[in-house]
């Protein structure tokens, strides 16, 4: 798929979810990052959702999952028809994703601050079983970082050099009190890259720039919320 047709395709899928003709795909802060991950980075696929050796993508910020669902549909994890009745009484897709209902969804999320802990545990579990290929990617929001539970995971992963986990912070500047000094500086012991969260090549380079011995964080900056 070329960039143009991929974007058109995602646009169409997103409209199918929202029924919204006015909002451009850019209204979805996570769209470009999730697309780049699934299109270029993650070693996953609809045919290997239970493969122990797959990469893991954990959407910690379960809120506003339309972009995630659109990408899952575009990549064949779920039928497109599922997008037509999100949060309906018989729908498998809700306003927060449920791993027991959606193939390819690694965690049920929505309550903020759970993905990094689950991600650290997943990375440790893979390591304990000698599964050295898979990498764990956790997507969080800048406001989500307000939750203290994130900082337990960030501090532990940094101190122990858990180098199979990558956190991606979508920074749409929606946190109430800001992060003076920057978000990346909160990730002590992690390598970090801050990028334009709309630039696909930059996102890919940043996500691939992890190094041995340290966890990696990518801060993907997008337009401020509202």
* Least CB distance to other proteins at residue 107 (A): 6
In whole angstroms, what is the distance from residue 14 CA to residue 71 CA?
9
Q: Which is nearer to other proteins, 114 or 200 (CB)?
A: 114
Q: Which is nearer to other proteins, 28 or 56 (CB)?
A: 56
The pair of structure tokens assigned to 208 is 């691939």
* Least CB distance to other proteins at residue 70 (A): 24
Strand order in the sheet with 165-171: 56-59, 136-141, 165-171, 216-221, 191-196
Exposed/middle/buried for residue 81 (C-beta within 10 Å: 0-12, 13-18, 19+): exposed
* Least CB distance to other proteins at residue 40 (A): 24
Q: Which contacts of 124-130 are long-range, i.e. CB under 8 A and separated by 24 or more positions?
A: 124/162, 126/52, 126/164, 127/164, 129/52
Q: Which is nearer to other proteins, 132 or 223 (CB)?
A: 132
Q: Which residues bind other proteins (CB under 8 A)?
A: 52, 98-100, 106-108, 111, 113-114, 116-129, 131, 148-149, 152-153, 155-156, 159
DSSP 127-140: HHTT--S--EEEEE
Measure Cα distances from 26 to 7, 32, 86 in Å: 10, 8, 20
Q: Which is nearer to other proteins, 27 or 101 (CB)?
A: 101
* Least CB distance to other proteins at residue 209 (A): 24
* Least CB distance to other proteins at residue 186 (A): 16
Q: Which is nearer to other proteins, 178 or 213 (CB)?
A: 213
* Least CB distance to other proteins at residue 14 (A): 26
Q: Which is nearer to other proteins, 13 or 157 (CB)?
A: 157
In whole angstroms, what is the distance from residue 73 CA to residue 201 CA?
22
**Strand, coil or helix: what is 57?**
strand
Q: Which is nearer to other proteins, 151 or 198 (CB)?
A: 151
* Least CB distance to other proteins at residue 156 (A): 5
> CB of 173 within 8 A of CB of 224?
yes
Task: Provide the strand spans (E) within 53-160.
Answer: 56-59, 136-141
């Amino acid at each position: 798929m070329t960039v143009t047709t991929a974007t058109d395709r995602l646009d169409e899928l997103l409209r199918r979810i929202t029924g919204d003709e006015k909002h451009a795909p850019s209204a979805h802060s996570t769209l470009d990052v999730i697309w780049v991950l699934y299109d270029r980075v993650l070693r996953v696929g609809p045919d290997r959702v239970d493969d122990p050796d797959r990469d893991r993508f954990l959407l910690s910020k379960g809120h506003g999952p339309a972009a995630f669902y659109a990408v899952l549909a575009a990549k064949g994890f779920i039928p497109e028809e599922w997008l037509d009745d999100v949060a309906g009484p018989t729908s498998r897709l809700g306003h927060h994703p449920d791993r027991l209902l959606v193939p390819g969804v690694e965690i049920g999320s929505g309550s903020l601050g759970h993905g990094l802990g689950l991600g650290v545990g997943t990375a440790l579990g893979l390591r304990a079983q000698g599964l050295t290929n898979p990498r764990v990617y956790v997507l969080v929001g800048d406001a989500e970082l307000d939750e203290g539970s994130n900082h337990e995971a960030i501090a532990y992963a940094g101190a122990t050099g858990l180098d199979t986990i990558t956190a991606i912070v979508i920074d749409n500047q929606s946190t109430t009190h800001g992060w003076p000094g920057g978000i990346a500086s909160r990730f002590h012991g992690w390598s970090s890259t801050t990028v334009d969260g709309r630039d696909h090549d930059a996102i890919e380079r940043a996500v691939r720039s992890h190094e041995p011995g340290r966890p990696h964080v990518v801060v993907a900056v997008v337009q401020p919320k509202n």
